[in-house]
Every structure is written in C-alpha cells, then in structure tokens.
Amino acid sequence: MSSIMQQLLAESGLSQLAEGKIVSGVITEIRQNEVAVDIGGKSEGIIPASEFIDIGDLQIGSTIEVLIEKLETKDGSPILSFDKAEQKKNWDNILTKFPEGSIATGRVKAKVKGGLIISIGVDAFIPASHVDIQPPKNLDQYVGQTYDFKVIKIDQLRKNVVLSRRELIEQQRGDKRRLLLESIQPGQVRKGIVKNITDFGAFIDLDGMDGLLHITDMSWGRIAHPADVLKQGEEIQVMIIEVNREKERVSLGLKQTTKNPWDEIEHKFPVGTKVHGKVVNLVPYGAFLEIEPGVEGLVHITEMSWTKRITKPSEVLKVGQELDAVVLGIQKEDQKISLGIRQLEPNPWDMVRHNYPMGARVRGKVRNMTTYGAFIELEEGIDGMVHVSDMTWNRKVNHPSEFLKKGDEVDAIVLDVDPSQQRISLGMKQLAEDPWSDIESHFKIGDVVKGTVSKITTFGAFIELKDGIDGLVHISQISEDRIEKVKDHVKPGQEVTARVVKIDREERRLGLSIKAANYSNDQLAAETASFEALNRDSSSDMMNLGDILDAASDKK
C-alpha cells in the first residue's frame, strides 16, 4: 500500500474496519459498470455503477464514503455500498430535510411490485396509484426519470418513506383550475391536449381542467366516431362554448374554430347548379351526398331516376361512390340541401305527348292492379292507367281482377296525357262501340232472350247475354211464388230463358224476368190492362213491363 493511502486511512480514523460502519475510501478504478474503492482492507471493494447518479462525475483518486456491508468475502474482498452509506447519513436528518407534506425531488431507481422505488437521498416508495392522475399501465417508462414528489408518510422505525406524485399534480391542477375558471370566457380559443376519447365526444386537457368536446361540435360535417377525427395525446385548438363556474364544467367546440360552410351556401350552390360529391350514407328514403367538407345534400329516392322503380337506394348507389347531382332546393336554417340525379338526364315524360297522343291505340302488359284500376306498362318506367269504369261498356266492374290479371297483354286507347303529373289515362272499352248507344237494335222490351247466370246477389241474379251485356233478374221476377233466397232457385253458370222487361239507357241497366219468359201475349196484355190506371197520371209514354209485373206481384 502506498504511503499516501496509509496516510489517508490514518487521518480518517478508520484503521479499524467493521461491518455496518461508514468509512472513507479512495476510488482506484472506474469501469463501465462498476467502481473499485480501496478502504484499506486486504483488497478493494466493488460498487455497481447504478448506485451513482452519474458515474461520469467520479474521478480516480477522489475520496467517497461507503458502507461496509461485509468485511470480507471468500475471495477476501469487502462488500461496499455507496448508496446505503448516503441513505444511512440521510436518515439522520430525513425529517428535517423532507417533513411530511413537503416536496422532494427524486430519481426513479426501479420498478417493484405495486409501485416504484424513488431515491430522494434515501429509498422511498410510491404506489402505482400515486404515480399519476390516471394509474399508468406500464411503470417501466418512469425508471431513470427525475420528478418532484410529495412526502405523504415517514416511518422512522421501519425506515419507510411513502411519496405521491398524483397529489402534487392534483394540487397543481387545482391551482391552475382556479386561475383558468377566473380567466376563461366563451368565444376564447385555447390550446388543449386530447386526454380521453368516448363514443359521444372527447375530453380535452386545458392545462388546469378538462373540457368536453361533444361529437356534434367536432366538425360541420358527418362524423361516425370521435376517433375518426382525433387521437389521444394530440394537441388541438378549441373554442370555449360555455362555462359553468359553479359546477366547474367547460363545453368546447372544434368546428367553431373554422368558418361555417353553410353561411354562404346559397351563393356557393345556387338552385340548378351541377355539383360533384361522394355518397356518405344510405337511408330508406334516399342518399346523403357530401359535396364539400361539412356540407351534405339529400338525393331523395324519387329524384334518382325518371323511369326506374327504385325501392331502396342501395339498388343504384353505394357508400363511397362519387357522382354528379343537381341542386334542387336549399333550406339554410335547417342546413338541408335537396339534390337530384335524374335531372342530369332528359325527362322521358317530356316526350310522352308526342309518343302517346290522345286517341292513339297502344299495347302493354298489366304491371299492377289497385281497387280503382290497372296500370299498363307502355315502356320501361312509363305506365298508363285504365280505370275500372273504362274497362267495359257492358257491366259495372268492382275490381280490375274481375276483368284482368297481372301479366296480361292488353290493347287500349289513350284518353288523356298529363306529363306534369306523369299520368296517362287509358281506356279499353273505347276500342269497341258502346252497345248502349243503340241498345234497341240489340234488345227490345218484351224480347225473350237466353243467357248464363254470371253472379248471384241477395236481390237477384245477373245474366250474361249476347254482346257481353249483363241483365238483372230481380228476386221478384224469378218465380210466381214468393222466394226467400235467390241461390235456392238459380246457380252461377246455369242457362236461363228470360224476357226483357225494362231498358234504362241512362243507368245502363237491362231488367229481365224469368217468370214472364213463358207468358203468352194475351197474359202480358191482361197484366198490362189490369194496371193501365197506374200509368194514366204518368208523364211517360209507356210503362215498363217490369213495373207492371212488380205491381202485380205486390197485389198478389
């Protein structure tokens, strides 16, 4: 041993070494991960580099105090600790230096179960729940970092110090919150950090307190989810929308920091303008088209095609598709724009008057039927309608299914065309002459006719005669005897012989009598003579046989 080393050890009074004692030692060598220290023993002790805050501050030949943990190991070298020497010295004045409630600066030494070990001169413990306001998922990121901590508990007997960084942050935030609430005003634009994202919005850290940025205030346009616009940790500029100082709540807006695209919408997209956009949403009644960020217009399902019968928008459009449209209308207050796609093409109904003039004969297929008529497809998307009253001259049609069925090919005459209402009125009966215009050439009162029972009612039976004309046999004209039910005497499809007893041109009705079919001329004359008195005061020239027969039945 050199004379200098012996002199240093003698001066320090550490010639007698003992475990647990703090002694002075001389740094003899500084390696990458360890430091060799001579304390005057048989051999040098080795101290890990991790016990020093910065190994670069050490110099060979300088003196440091170390704690002797073990005087001599098997190889004869001592076990020394610089860190424990420092802690032992610091424990003597820990309460003086860092009393409970004080702020201590410390370096994170290591991660342990449940928290971190912090060096503040002595080893202290910080629970994971006290590391930050939100307990971190990964504590490794803190190792090696230096922070300020609040001393919340000291146990001298157990040599325990418990720290909290969270309480310090909360205290600092509380001070900042009070200052922020005093100065913040609606309309101000502030810097903030995206702290947390939810389905309904995002919480923004305003450096003192959190404000809520609702999803509806993120963009002038459509947003599916806040995460589509923001990401956690991002720094943004937000506008203060509302401040509630009592409840310490702040509402924020992001879209308000940019100009509202709807402010000058009428000048930007006047009615009739052709626009280009992207389909952003499909609904049962139409499609929403984004024509610029924050501005969407609705293409109603009725404005997609002049002729195609579209039942749902997805038949012709898909989300993400780009297309042109025409502005049909603007409701600025409600932020609504009506768009049309079919307006980009010529309207085929503009040619309907030319293609289907009144009086023209047309042919088409029965596409659909309603209670009041049948729709005939003349070409794709162009239908004409035949009303039930225009299907036949000869009978009253209650429903088109009595006369037609879906898919039938039929001929008709164009009766009227209204392009503005997209209507074409057709008639089928107009293809033939009206037999009622000269009904006397077909039937006269007193004629005996044959026909088939086509329909039974409670008041009589309809008989189909020649030329498709129907006659009605009233219940009183079926038999000489009084009957209760028509169906007990005649059946549908049954052939019968009857006599024409009444012709009503205005009502287009033909009255028949089965019971009078076999009357001789003398019998008819007798019936007529018996009731001539009924006609003397009448203004008509002749009483119908039906009236006479009805009166005769009543008298009997």
CA separation, residue 425 to residues 190, 214, 301, 390, 401 (Å)? 67, 55, 25, 10, 18
Helix (H) or strand (E) holding 294: none
Mean pLDDT by 10 residues, the chain (556 residues): 49 61 87 88 85 83 87 84 80 76 89 91 89 86 92 82 90 83 87 89 85 87 84 89 86 86 84 91 92 89 84 90 92 88 84 86 91 89 88 82 89 90 88 77 83 89 82 87 86 89 80 84 64 44 56 54
CB-CB contact of 51 with 64 (8 Å): no
**pLDDT for position 340:** 92
pTM given for the model = 0.43
Pick from 276, 424, 299: which is nearest to 354 by CA?
Answer: 424
**pLDDT for position 150:** 92
**pLDDT for position 343:** 87
CB-CB contact of 395 with 353 (8 Å): no
**pLDDT for position 466:** 78
**pLDDT for position 549:** 61
**pLDDT for position 115:** 93
CA distance 480 to 466: 26
Helix (H/G/I), strand (E/B), else coil: 57:
helix
CA separation, residue 518 to residues 98, 207, 497, 524 (Å)? 134, 111, 9, 10
Question: In this structure, are strands 495-504 and 509-513 parallel, antiparallel, or unpaired?
Answer: antiparallel
CA distance 131 to 141: 11
Helices (H), ranges, 227-275: 265-268
Question: In this structure, are strands 249-253 and 470-474 parallel, antiparallel, or unpaired?
Answer: unpaired
Residue 540 identity: S
Residue 112 identity: V
**pLDDT for position 538:** 42
**pLDDT for position 13:** 43
Domains along the sequence of the chain with CATH: 3-89 (2.40.50.140), 93-169 (2.40.50.140), 184-257 (2.40.50.140), 265-344 (2.40.50.140), 348-431 (2.40.50.140), 435-555 (2.40.50.140)
CB-CB contact of 204 with 213 (8 Å): yes
Q: What is the dihedral of CA 141, 144, 149, 155, to 10 degrees?
A: 110
